[in-house]
């Protein structure tokens, strides 16, 4: 697969004029030095750390609440805040 992509890239580059090659090189340089951010929350170190902390708490017998309990607590907090 990788070789196919390499050959296709080389073939495409060979068909570009000098101006197009300069533009492509500028794009590639930008891409290499500033890769696009990951869209996966699992690549966020802070998120993963928090999820591990919560999992460890749960696995060690920590108390969990149901969705209904959570909704009730939120409603109580909002009622106290006058919202």
Query: Which tens digits make up the pLDDT trace of 26-83?
Result: 988 888 888 777 788 888 889 999 999 999 999 999 988 899 999 999 999 999 988 6
What is the Cβ-side half-sphere exposure of residue 44, based on CA atoms within 13 angstroms? 8
- From 79, 81, 82, select the one nearest 71 (Cα to Cα): 79
Contacts of 42 (CB under 8 A, 6+ apart): 48
- From 25, 30, 29, 31, select the one nearest 9 (Cα to Cα): 25
* pTM for the predicted model, two decimal places: 0.40
């Amino acid at each position: 697969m990788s070789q196919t992509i390499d050959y296709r890239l080389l073939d495409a580059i060979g068909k570009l004029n000098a101006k197009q090659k300069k533009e492509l090189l500028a794009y590639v340089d930008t891409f290499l030095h500033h890769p696009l951010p990951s869209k996966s929350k699992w690549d966020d170190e802070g998120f993963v750390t928090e999820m591990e902390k919560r999992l460890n708490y749960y696995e060690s017998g920590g108390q969990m609440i149901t969705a209904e309990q959570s909704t009730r607590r939120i409603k109580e907090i909002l009622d106290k805040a006058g919202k």
